[in-house]
Amino acid sequence: MKFTKMHGIGNDYVYVNCFEEELAMDPGRLAELVSDRHCGIGSDGLILIKPSAVADFCMDMYNSDGSRGAMCGNGIRCVAKYVYDHGMTNMTTIRIETLSGIKTIDLTVKDGKVRLANVDMGMPVLLSQGVNRELTPEVRKEIADSEIWEVLDVQDKEMSMIHISMGNPHAVFFVDDVDNIEIEKIGPAIETHPRFPDRTNVEFVQIVDESHVKMRVWERGAGETMACGTGACAVAVACRLAGYSQDKVDVRLLGGTLTIFWNPDNGHVEMCGPATEVFTGEFNV
C-alpha cells in the first residue's frame, strides 16, 4: 500500500490517497499497525484522503490506538497541502468533509507548493458542567465566569478545567509551568476519567502574556503528541473565555507554533500553520 508521511509541527500521520489505494483491512487496525514506531512506519495515526459527495475531499482520521477521530487540525492542513501539491486540485480555497462537518481551508502557495494553511475550524462548544452550549458571539459576550469552569477530582486532587469541543472534546487545565508536569501520569488519568464516557483530549496551558501561551497535550488515543491543532484552538478559546488572552494568540507547542484567532464577529475559530511532506513509501500489508 502506497503512503505519504506528513506532519503538522511534529504531529505526524501516515496519509493514504484512497483515490488510488484500496485498504486491505479495517482502517482502525491499519492505524495501529502503521503507527507503531518500531514495527510499522511510526506515526500518531492514519489519515485517509477520500472522495466526498458534499465537499471537495473527505478526511477520515484514526488515532494510533485505532480509535476514529472526529476532527484533526494538524491533519487537515496536511490533507489540503497533499491534494494541492499532488495536482488533485488547483484551488487555493478547499472544502474538506470531516466527521465534525465541512471545513474551509485557505492556502498560501509559493513556487507551486503549499507553505501555510488557514483553517476555519468552526464554532467552539462549551462542555463544562455538562452543558453543550455553542459559543456564538452573543453567548460569548454574556457568559458568566462561573459557567465556564468545572472542578474535576483527579487522583484525589481537585483540578479546575474548562471543557471545550472543537468537534472533538478537550479538557483544558491552566498550570504555572508546562515543562514541569508529569503528563505521562496525569494525562491518561484525565483522558480515561469516568467524567468522559468517550474519553477526552487533555491540554495543559501556561500563560506567557495576553498574546502568547505555551501548551502540552495528551491526546485521546495517541498519548503526548508534539502538537494538536484542535487542542490549540480549544486552548485559545479557554484562555479568551477566562480573560487571560486576546482574540488572537500564538500557541507554542512542543513541535512549533500555531496562530489562533477566535473571530468575535462570526464566532468561528481560525487556525493558521504549516504542513510538511516528509517522504512517500510502500507499506507491506
Contact track, ligand API, 157-186, x by CB under 6 A: -----------x------------------
State the number of binding residues for ligand API (CB under 6 A): 16
DSSP string, 78-146: HHHHHHHHTTS---SEEEEEETTEEEEEEEEEETTEEEEEEEE----EE-GGG--EE--HHHHHH--HH
Least distance from C-beta 73 to ligand API, angstroms?
4
Residues 6+ apart with CB under 8 A from 48: 15, 16, 18, 23, 27, 59, 60, 61, 62
- Alpha-carbon distance of 99 to 69, in angstroms, equals 8
Identity of the residue, 66 or 75, whose beta carbon is nearer to ligand API in the bound complex:
75
Least distance from C-beta 185 to ligand API, angstroms?
19
Sign of CA dihedral 39, 43, 44, 48: negative
- Alpha-carbon distance of 278 to 18, in angstroms, equals 19
Instruction: Out of 228, 233, 239, 272, pick the active-site residue.
Output: 228
Instruction: Out of 72, 233, 239, 272, pick the active-site residue.
Output: 72
Q: Is there a binding annotation on residue 63?
A: yes
Q: C-alpha cell of 99?
A: 466527521
Q: Is there a binding annotation on residue 229?
A: yes
Q: Quick check: is 272 catalytic?
A: no
The terminus-to-terminus CA distance of the chain in angstroms comes to 7
Least distance from C-beta 25 to ligand API, angstroms?
20
Q: Is there a binding annotation on residue 90?
A: no
Q: Quick check: is 18 catalytic?
A: no
Q: Is 121 in the site for ligand API (CB under 6 A)?
A: no
Identity of the residue, 102 or 139, whose beta carbon is nearer to ligand API in the bound complex:
102
Q: Helix, strand or coil for residue 253?
A: strand
Contact track, ligand API, 204-223, x by CB under 6 A: ---------------xxxx-
Contact track, ligand API, 2-21, x by CB under 6 A: ---------x----------
Contact track, ligand API, 226-245, x by CB under 6 A: --xxx---------------
Q: Helix, strand or coil for residue 225?
A: strand
- Alpha-carbon distance of 141 to 136, in angstroms, equals 9
Identity of the residue, 220 or 252, whose beta carbon is nearer to ligand API in the bound complex:
220
Active site residues: 72, 228
Residues of the shown chain interacting with ligand API in the complex, contacts defined by CB under 6 A: 11, 63, 69, 72-75, 168, 201, 219-222, 228-230
